[in-house]
A = this chain, B = another copy of it.
């Protein structure tokens, strides 16, 4: 049946990172999602209540891509007590022409972290003010790091202000990220301080709104990447309603798992939600002036997984990275 390339996290970190080609790879999938091209079934979820865990499976076929990624993400929330991270997972890539397994990517979630960060850069590129120099961040975990690094690809960021429920985590973040990115990173005492920036990125697993309408100022762009479940919400319904433009990666998914869920429930008209793919192609109008308030909700799609995994496997094949296993 051929050979399967087995890749581990270090192979994948060597192959793909926070770069412009990777960002364009992610950007290119949004118009396909919006056009309904390919096949992207709803997320499959297996609940494991005895272990306070869940397994989510995402996948998508995109015409013209050589591979189809199947991603399995595990979230087991008692793991920290066992000395293990809460989140993990892996991807597999199948040949889109024959269905033959081509590669197993034991990435410990790296590709998801990366493509989610890059998606934030795509949203900022199309929706934030071009001269945005300051970025506020809610949350100080892995995805907060990814988002800050990514937004620097597209905006002349000189300063970041981070807020986290646990202040010592924010302190750690500020220290690390100012070193790594050579920009000023401050700790915010309140969410309002973070929201005063040109651009606000929310990266928390919050189940109640952290951003309210009164925190928003003219010209602000908010990218919300935290909500990916029926129970989560970072942006208040009134804030969504008060924004001039509400964009999301997938209306279907945001309605179920993202910021649209609560808003639709309180009467926000579905037709006001615009997909990022439509903004990218120009089919929908994006930001039209520097005073508008824009929001982009990213729930994360299997299409992005297929895109980043295809790029990673292509590069690892060229460099002959990893181990080939005859099956």
Residues of A within 8 A of B (CB): 1, 4, 6, 8-9, 39-42, 44-51, 53, 55, 57, 59-61, 63, 68, 70, 72, 74-76, 79, 82, 84-85, 88-90, 92, 94, 96-101, 104, 106, 108, 323, 325-327
Contacts and interface: CB of A to CB of B under 8 A. Distances in A.
Contact of A92 (B8, B63, B90): B90
Determine which residue in A1, A42, A68, A98 has the highest number of CB atoms from chain B within 10 A of its CB, and name it: A98
11 contacts: A1-B9, A6-B104, A9-B327, A40-B46, A41-B44, A50-B63, A51-B97, A72-B94, A72-B101, A92-B92, A108-B327
A106 B4 contact: yes
A85 B96 CA distance: 15
A46 B50 CA distance: 30
Given A8-B326, A101-B88, A41 B45 contact: yes
A100 to B, nearest CB: 6
State how many copies of this chain the complex holds: 2
A72 B74 contact: no
B48 A61 contact: yes
A324 to B, nearest CB: 11
B90 A101 contact: yes
Given A6-B6, A55-B70, A39 B47 contact: yes
B74 A99 contact: yes
Contacts of A53: 98-99
Contacts of A46: 39-41, 59-61, 68
B48 A55 contact: no
Contacts of A6: 6, 104, 325
A40 B51 CA distance: 16
B94 A55 contact: yes
A99 B79 contact: yes
Determine which residue in A41, A49, A82 has the highest number of CB atoms from chain B within 10 A of its CB, and name it: A41
B94 A82 contact: no
Contact of A44 (B57, B74, B101, B108): B57
Nearest to A70: B72
A98 B70 contact: no
Given A106-B327, A327-B106, A98 B82 contact: yes
A99 to B, nearest CB: 3
Nearest to A53: B99
B88 A1 contact: yes
A40 B152 CA distance: 42
